[in-house]
A and B are shown apart, each in its own frame.
Chain A
């Protein structure tokens, strides 16, 4: 089985199902969430008084993933500027960016045990990872189609 073609899409599908389950759980528990939303002012105050140590750890962990992600995005834009759109390098770069988002999500998840609102940020980063991953899957298919088209005379 070709990892990049088959397993990658399967993993993306698993991620979509996981997020769907998360969304379903959120929908079902929406009524229970209302008191939490009512306490938003209190949550804001918690944000302001975020523990210095947790904040430092969070920024340090996120930076480990954010810098490579920005570098990969820079390279991706460089490729696009050179009109290299459907090339394997772009797929590799998007895959790396996706894993960097997963890294940020994991960091937020880790720090979320110290400061609960960071769990929301972890979900957002995870969702971003999923979106980038699916765009990468689309690019992968497009490359296969392009190579087929290039050899059609």
Chain B
């Protein structure tokens, strides 16, 4: 049971680089990398909102729930 972050998929669809997205969202490239690799423990609503705004998508496009069963 886990949350999968599909940020790289959305970034590829929007043709945006990590550095550019990090700059637009207002987080460091290192933190964006933590988010992309699924190492993050939590995501602030403000960060999620900024990501959705820049990528023109819904939270569900970035985050996906995967059950064990």
| Contact residues in A for B41 (Cβ distance below 8 Å) | 148, 151-152
Residues of B within 8 A of A152 (CB): 40-44
In the complex, whether B13 has a CB less than 8 A from a CB of chain A is no
Beta-carbon nearest neighbor of A151 in chain B: B41
A28 at the interface (CB under 8 A from B): no
**A150 closest partner in B (C-beta):** B41
Interface size class of B (residues with CB under 8 A): 10 to 19
A153: CB under 8 A from chain B? yes
- Nearest CB on A from B27, distance (A): 6
Which residues of A are found within 8 Å of B16, using beta-carbon distances?
Answer: none
B31 surroundings in chain A (CB, below 8 A): 153
CA distance A153 to B42 in the complex (A): 6
B9 interfacial by beta-carbon distance below 8 Å: no
Closest to B43 in A: A153
| Contact (Cβ within 8 A) A151 B43 | no
Instruction: State the CA gap A148–B41 with chains docked (Å).
Output: 7
1/0 per position for A138-153, CB-CB distance to B under 8 A?
A: 0000000000100111
Q: How far is the CA of A152 from the CA of B35 in the complex (A)?
A: 9
Q: For window 57-114 of chain A, which residues contact chain B by CB distance below 8 Å?
A: none
- Apart from A153-B35, A153-B40, A153-B47, what are 7 other A-B pairs with CB-CB below 8 Å? A151-B40, A151-B41, A151-B42, A152-B40, A152-B42, A153-B27, A153-B31
Interface set of B (CB-CB < 8 Å, partner A):
27, 31-32, 34-35, 39-44, 47
- Jot down 10 A-B pairs with beta carbons below 8 A, ordered by A: A148-B42, A151-B34, A151-B39, A151-B41, A151-B42, A152-B40, A152-B41, A153-B34, A153-B35, A153-B40
